[in-house]
Structure 1
């Protein structure tokens, strides 16, 4: 009746057969398709009229609220700038931010506007879902998936079979034990009682292990391998350390890639990423490692780790674990920034995450409702020392400024900055002593011994670095120029490394960790200086360092690595000079040290030829040569040879060719990047 009253012919629907087959129906009775199929043509019936929904009043109100917030944001005036010269802005008015759970991951928003909008959109989504709407037009933008993955950061391992990379069940527990003894006391980013069941399950059956836990397991295997010696690796696993490292590194990277670390965030993945970054020194380009750690900082920031869990209403257990991870990330970021020749790293402008508490893992459990630090020694001691050192570096930029001025030989260093830096180091010394007095007991294990030695060595190192050149005890005798001071800095860096190596209580546990911070660039610089520096107490100390470095770092005898080859050439060249000087002044013949004899036996003939020096350097050898624009020098100046940060980035073939001729002294201004960061080993 409605059709006839409206004057429109009734709509003819496709038959049932055509609808089911999804083919075009000619709408005849019977239709041609049914005739061909020799079946009855049954007309379809129209679907019941859809009940028109009334506008949802709650939804409209929330949309209006979003529009109101966006309008406020568009018309808001920017905050007034802080006064000139003010060290920081007053951030007390800023909201604490908000943690949100989206698409199975945790994200942090510190914008009040967007935190509120996200809440409104989430509520709107729930309204629509309650009305059984399939499509979701209100998904927040930050929860939408992306085609990006970590291929920009980690090498592509998408075709890797992870099952083949896992260790044998018997090896799982060996690696876990090594990790607990040698790695966990230094990192403390995992909770051992919580993670241990994963290891048990991994040894029994890996089928049910979540992807994020698998990445964490590979990072544990990897770090345990790093902590092994070459002989231990051969004895326990029947493979060289390099082979095992490559295997577990590939497994860790593959697991992280498959998770999609740029869009899926949780604490387990972050723990795996932090441990992976810990494994990179000596195995990976330090500049790339610093950039990768920058991604880690951003992931941690996105998860809100830069805001203390107490302010975010998190449980005591999660709050404490987030603190441990955040402070370890800060330390890693500082370490890689300094190793890359940079100063202070770019951390979030404001963060309030408190340092971790003095607690053993056994004092922590996920269901705890309150938490109190212990007043007695715990296995957190090394981390507490490192956190105090990190805080000093972050809050006192004057220290780095003074160090740079001293290295560059500034004639008039700023006395007020020197005073502030010295005062802050005194305060740091006091704080470290308080921590060690309250929480350290050498009888409780090697990590307590390491913590005490680290505190003492770092204070001594900082005091020396901020001491102006004219205040050095050798000023006027062995230190006459900034170049002389740089030589002393390279020497003391080696001596401090060796002091850490030689702690007897820690050698079987943490020597791997201390040796991983060895910087061959500084060592090569020092050895190169010994070709022209032939006498004095600093020279004698330097030669003792050279011998011990070759004793500990036996990898330097692997001359297939170009930096090791450069080290060998400069060492032999310096020894030739020293041998002639001592032969001319000594009555008895000079005995060739074992490391020199070994280097001479393995140096290729062509490279050995470059190390021969017929006579001691003359006065002209000690002068600084400069190339003029009209006639460039054909010799490679020292500031090009050794003024670098990454040994792997140097074209060593040019250096080898230039090493045959006497070399001038360096332009000391080129070395600020070498020592400005690398001389501070923040552990």
Structure 2
């Protein structure tokens, strides 16, 4: 009960609205329900005698506590949660344990919520996930509505073809599983006794995931329904971020041509525009809490670095608008001031680079060769990448094939204002854990916003 109350207060988008409903501030209520929840857990002796009910409560609490509690506390508690879940055998498929059909579905749902929570908190804490693939065999939950489940049912449900109340959660589970396999650090493959995947294999896995999600779930979505719209947009953003990470030159140690960089720049802009839209669109206000703590560090850092290194690879007007909205949204609101200052410095360098290029263009148009040469010398002295050769595009062996096509779903996915004005007001139950937010995916490679080496942009050909 206290975990549910804590989750309900978390989902209220503002302290003002909370005070109008309960005559108390949001933070005060969160503190009170956290204290009540922790006392109830202690009375239940949950560590020595865990049960499914206490693990469900702890999972719900930690999923929401990410928005208000210190991340180290949440990360540590998730580790405890996973140990308790394994003590209860949630990591083993319940059908193999001979449990009744209803309990099988409840245990599968709970395990996969814990799995997705592990992925998300690992990313937020700059750590690797606790759970390895070889450590569990629990199947995905069935694609059914709650009304299709009953404590007395005698047959296992097979799952429906189409949209159910499990839409958001199932898509989230599939994406979390794929992200763990594709993105996180190579040492995890050794821990899970699996061979490390090549760049081509990871791209194929991502393509297969997109096709599967489209075929099983998204083709049945109505974009006029807010939860469907949210599911599709958030999924697109996560998969776009995975694609960006896989092709980032710092991760692949490859020489990248401008065509590849232009594609990555557009993907970064999509992420920034989409995240802003999900946080601000009035029809999605019920899910704003999902995004209020997420900062798009990686996408904006990549755009700023690319603007400095190769401005011709960036649609500067659109990128500047997206970056400007990012700084407007988060100015004065972030806790990590060291990382924020790093972005501020990058933005200053990017704006200076654009200003010099504009001066060069003006001087060239005016026919003042000496002035143009002076500006060009300034640009060259500030260029943080090596120019190698004059023509062609040499990529590493892993990237010699054509870049993968853009992700495609059943309906348009551009993040423009015109595309987001037709969301209907149809309602769906929002009682589930709608935690399909965005991943930063810094595991296994350099941090793009803190420890980025500008020289990873090693272009061949004219810049």
For the superposition of Structure 1 and Structure 2, which TM-score range results when normalised by the shorter chain? 0.5 to 0.7
Residue 82 of structure 1 is matched in structure 2 by none
Q: Is the contact made by 2:85 and 2:91 (CA closer than 8 Å) also made in structure 1?
A: yes
The answer to whether structure 1 residue 250 and structure 2 residue 28 are counterparts is no
Q: Is the contact made by 2:268 and 2:303 (CA closer than 8 Å) also made in structure 1?
A: no
Residue from 174, 179, 183 that aligns with 1:393: 179
Residue from 45, 49, 55 that aligns with 1:260: 45
Residue from 229, 233, 236 that aligns with 1:449: 229
Residue 356 of structure 1 is matched in structure 2 by 141
Q: Is the contact made by 2:112 and 2:173 (CA closer than 8 Å) also made in structure 1?
A: yes
Residue 324 of structure 2 is matched in structure 1 by 547
Q: Is the contact made by 1:341 and 1:673 (CA closer than 8 Å) also made in structure 2?
A: no
> How many Å separate the matches in 2 of 1:401 and 1:501?
29
> How many Å separate the matches in 2 of 1:486 and 1:425?
16
Task: Could you tell me which runs of 5 or more consecutive residues in structure 1 were left unpaired when the two chains were aligned.
Answer: 1-216, 405-413, 587-615, 625-668, 677-683
> How many Å separate the matches in 2 of 1:320 and 1:504?
34
Q: Is the contact made by 1:316 and 1:368 (CA closer than 8 Å) also made in structure 2?
A: yes
Residue 246 of structure 2 is matched in structure 1 by 466
Deviations 1:203-243 (A, max 9, x none): xxxxxxxxxxxxxx111111112211223223222333222
The answer to whether structure 1 residue 223 and structure 2 residue 4 are counterparts is no
Q: Is the contact made by 1:526 and 1:542 (CA closer than 8 Å) also made in structure 2?
A: no
> How many Å separate the matches in 1 of 2:49 and 2:161?
38
Question: Aligned-pair distance for 1:289?
Answer: 2.1
- Distance 1:328-1:584 versus aligned 2 partners, 3 A rule: closer
* Structure label with greater radius of gyration: 1
> How many Å separate the matches in 2 of 1:514 and 1:435?
26
Question: Aligned-pair distance for 1:386?
Answer: 1.3
Question: Aligned-pair distance for 1:439?
Answer: 5.3
Residue 494 of structure 1 is matched in structure 2 by 272
> How many Å separate the matches in 2 of 1:232 and 1:382?
26
Matches within 5 A, 1:81-120: none
- Distance 1:621-1:517 versus aligned 2 partners, 3 A rule: same
Q: Is the contact made by 2:309 and 2:384 (CA closer than 8 Å) also made in structure 1?
A: no
Question: Aligned-pair distance for 1:270?
Answer: 0.8
> SS state of the match for residue 445, structure 2?
helix
> SS state of the match for residue 46, structure 2?
coil
> How many Å separate the matches in 1 of 2:301 and 2:244?
19
> SS state of the match for residue 311, structure 1?
helix
Matches within 5 A, 1:68-83: none
Residue from 207, 214, 235 that aligns with 1:426: 207
Residue from 659, 665, 674 that aligns with 2:447: 674
> How many Å separate the matches in 2 of 1:477 and 1:393?
27
The answer to whether structure 1 residue 383 and structure 2 residue 383 are counterparts is no
Residue 123 of structure 1 is matched in structure 2 by none
> SS state of the match for residue 378, structure 1?
coil
Matches within 5 A, 1:45-444: 217-230=1-14, 231-347=16-132, 349-372=134-157, 373-394=159-180, 396-397=181-182, 399-400=183-184, 417-436=198-217, 440-442=221-223
> SS state of the match for residue 310, structure 1?
helix
Question: Aligned-pair distance for 1:431?
Answer: 0.9
- Distance 1:236-1:670 versus aligned 2 partners, 3 A rule: closer
> How many Å separate the matches in 2 of 1:544 and 1:517?
19
Residue 285 of structure 2 is matched in structure 1 by 508
Question: Aligned-pair distance for 1:362?
Answer: 2.0
Greater relative CO, 1 or 2 (CA 8 Å, sep 6+):
2
State the TM-score, normalizing by the size of structure 2. Answer: 0.65
> How many Å separate the matches in 2 of 1:429 and 1:284?
33
> How many Å separate the matches in 2 of 1:336 and 1:415?
23
Q: Is the contact made by 1:341 and 1:674 (CA closer than 8 Å) also made in structure 2?
A: no
Residue 567 of structure 1 is matched in structure 2 by 340
Task: Could you tell me which runs of 5 or more consecutive residues in structure 2 were left unpaired when the two chains were aligned.
Answer: 189-194, 360-376, 386-441, 450-463
What CA RMSD, in Å, does the superposition of the two structures yield over aligned residues? 4.3
- Distance 1:419-1:670 versus aligned 2 partners, 3 A rule: closer
Question: Aligned-pair distance for 1:464?
Answer: 3.2
> How many Å separate the matches in 2 of 1:303 and 1:366?
20
- Distance 1:235-1:619 versus aligned 2 partners, 3 A rule: farther
> SS state of the match for residue 284, structure 1?
coil
Q: Is the contact made by 1:270 and 1:300 (CA closer than 8 Å) also made in structure 2?
A: yes
Aligned residues: 364
Deviations 1:505-563 (A, max 9, x none): 4x2221221333335x547856985996795536544432233224544xx435xx753
Deviations 1:174-196 (A, max 9, x none): xxxxxxxxxxxxxxxxxxxxxxx
> How many Å separate the matches in 2 of 1:307 and 1:441?
35
> How many Å separate the matches in 2 of 1:469 and 1:568?
24
> How many Å separate the matches in 2 of 1:422 and 1:671?
17
